[in-house]
Chains A and B, each alone.
Chain A
Amino acid sequence: MATDKVWVVAESSGGAPTSLTLELLTKARSLGSVVEAVAWGDDVASTAGALGSHGASKAYDVGDLGNALPGSRVAAAIAAQIAAGNAPDVILIGTTYDGRDIAGRLSARIDRPVLTNLVDLTVEDGVPVAHHAIFGGVQMAKSRFTGDGPGIFVVRAKSFAAEPDGGSAAEVVPVEVPDTGATDAARVLERHVEERSGPQLDEAEIVVSGGRGLGQADKYEMIEELAKLLKAAPGASRAIVDAGWVPYAYQVGQTGKTVKPTVYLAVGISGATQHMVGMKGAKNIIAINKDQEAPIFSIADLGIVGDVHKVVPKLIEALKARG
């Protein structure tokens, strides 16, 4: 499988490509000579500048989806292009709610496997190679496709840095969506934006995450207060998300978000492998845990063996005193 033509499934938010889309476009430039984007929405033209400046020569416009979910239609539009002879060699899709829908449906439609949870993508012997962090990031596995046809790769956020190359705006090319039958029947009735003050989890310079060591759900307030004082984003381990203490959107880890902040402060988190995958990329790690044997201490730059209910309130008081 050559890697001449690379397509990036380009998600956007508020008329601009998401940071993950720009990360994927930047990577795509190093993989193939032709980089093109597949976008949708009521105003793809408004994203053409940013898509172009990050390497896309064309933006295939699937059109306004109205209240439909993107999975079925975007996958169908890509599959139709492939069937018509306009097939890319590599398709890059972000690990997002919609991205995984598109990847799954596209995979089934064109009967091609999909490689997911990539943290890196290289070309070895002319073949694209996916890198996966496994067993909590202790090992790295490399995988590749063995058959012919486009390779579908689903990539985790923050795997690459987004860098513009100064290209001109992408040419917007409308594409047809074939009949999607019943697969496209879901409709969004209402969109709810949950107000979250402070920085986003995957963009914050400091992330403060809480885990089971907090003891009970209402103690998570401590994490939120500390995060606010540090202008940090609050996060969580899978254990307390599964326990229903905080929403899924807060989860850092293999099944949640990947974060790469300057400082990751793990409070009452033992360091299960599934959590480590999501936060090991932090430049600095501070951990507070009463169990001296907790795995988190093996990767922490500063480990505090102590009771989170004593250490954190003092930290909060001291930060308040500084104003």
Chain B
Amino acid sequence: MNVAVCVKQIPDPAAPGSLQPDTKNLVREGKLILDDSDSYGVEMSLQLAERAGGGEVTLVSMAPHEETSGLRTALAMGAAKAILVSDDVLAGTDALGTAKVLAAAIKRAEPDLVVAATESTDGYTGTTPAQVAELLGLPSVTFAKKIDVSDGKVRVERQTEAGFDEVECPLPAVVTVTAGVVEPRYPSFKGIMAAKGKPVEQLKVADLGLTPDQVGVAGAREEVFDVAAAEERKAGEVVVDEGDAYERIIAFLEQLKLL
């Protein structure tokens, strides 16, 4: 079974984020890393391909400056190859534009199953996988906490407000996974070495049959026009526990008449 998994290479979330003053786009400079959320999708895809006993995992990504450091991490985990769309005209692309790029790139991989995280850690729009599914004319099951594939169907335990639903869907389909569903493997030394030689197909927007006005700022048709400091929440009292701090919590709750 061939699985295409959407991965995003993002700035290190531990570093403070900022916006470009003129365009209000997220600053994406320096080395990008594999989004933690996506490591679950990569692991899930590897496990599904392994269980199916054949096929491979293809990474699909869109990133500036032909950035591949995040892809190398996922290749080192065991993905076979990657398709990377990198083009100057993509600066300022919104979620729908991203979905158009990813959908076109995914088509080239002809996968049986498309896997993605429910949302990225940096943009957290959370609609891109559903947009990709619609553009590809595929069914989708989002918020999967468990995935099994057999007999040309995918069976998913889908998170709901009340618990979870068991959902069945014919392949090909798009499935999004929540964090924590599997334990992402650490790339082995052998895997890291092997990743250096794995193919990364580099594509431009024109290679995908898309026009520049469908992506980038022109395609976005939305803009962030103002960024301001939020109302600050002030720090209250900070006390060091000397064995009786629990009494302070009880007093605090009593004062609010919650006890």
Contacts and interface: CB of A to CB of B under 8 A. Distances in A.
A23 interface: no
Interface stretch (B49-57, B192-200, B204-212, B223-231): B223-231
A105 B241 contact: no
Given A145-B221, A183-B137, 10 more contacts: A100-B126, A105-B130, A183-B138, A185-B173, A194-B164, A248-B180, A292-B238, A304-B245, A306-B245, A318-B246
A274 B168 CA distance: 32
Contacts of A103: 127, 130
Nearest to B235: A298
Contacts, number: 277
Given A116-B125, A238-B179, A302 B252 contact: yes
A109 interface: yes
13 contacts: A104-B130, A113-B94, A113-B95, A117-B125, A137-B230, A143-B223, A190-B165, A241-B180, A242-B36, A248-B159, A300-B235, A303-B238, A315-B246
A104 B250 contact: no
Interface string A22-66: 000000000000000000000000000000000000000000000
Contacts of B96: 107-108, 111-114
A235 to B, nearest CB: 15
A216 B127 CA distance: 33
Interface in A297-312: 297-307, 310-312
Interface stretch (A68-76, A82-90, A160-168): A68-76
The range of chain A's interface size is: 35 or more
Contacts of B233: 280, 285, 298-299
Contacts of A254: 124
Contacts of A146: 220-223
Contacts of B129: 104
Central interface residue in A184, A249, A273, A310, by most chain B CB within 10 Å = A249
A172 B252 CA distance: 49
B161 A96 contact: yes
Nearest to B103: A108
A306 B241 contact: yes
A194 B163 contact: yes
A69 B141 contact: yes
Nearest to B155: A189
